[in-house]
Amino acid sequence: MIELTKENFEEEVLKAEGLVMVDFWSQKCEPCKALMPSVHELAEKNEGKAKFCSLDTTNNKRLAISQKVLGLPTIAFYKNGAKIAELVKDFAIEDVEAKLHELA
């Protein structure tokens, strides 16, 4: 998983070719932390199908808002720099995996 910041978001996500999955999370978000091991496992299992990234919104609030991420946890999918899908709040890792396979 690539750790995103405001410094590398544009390069790693918006200028990337192909599918990119971004896990928006916060250290204060308990559901985010509970989901994180499953997200990392999903990334390892599906290596090569997409680029997998995570963004801690704690120090990147403006960036998250600019991406219209208003609730956590959020998993967003980008293709060739454009956001094409998003899962917000009440979802299971199975939903993320299904969406990944649908888009890949």
Instruction: Tell me how crowded residue 101 is: count the other CB atoms within 10 A of its CB.
Output: 10
Contact 22, 53 (CB under 8 A): yes
E-only strand ranges, 1-104: 2-4, 19-25, 51-56, 74-79, 82-88
Residue 53 is among the residues annotated as catalytic for this protein: no
The residue annotated as part of the active site, out of 20, 32, 50, 96, is 32
The residue annotated as part of the active site, out of 29, 39, 64, 100, is 29
Residues labelled catalytic: 29, 32
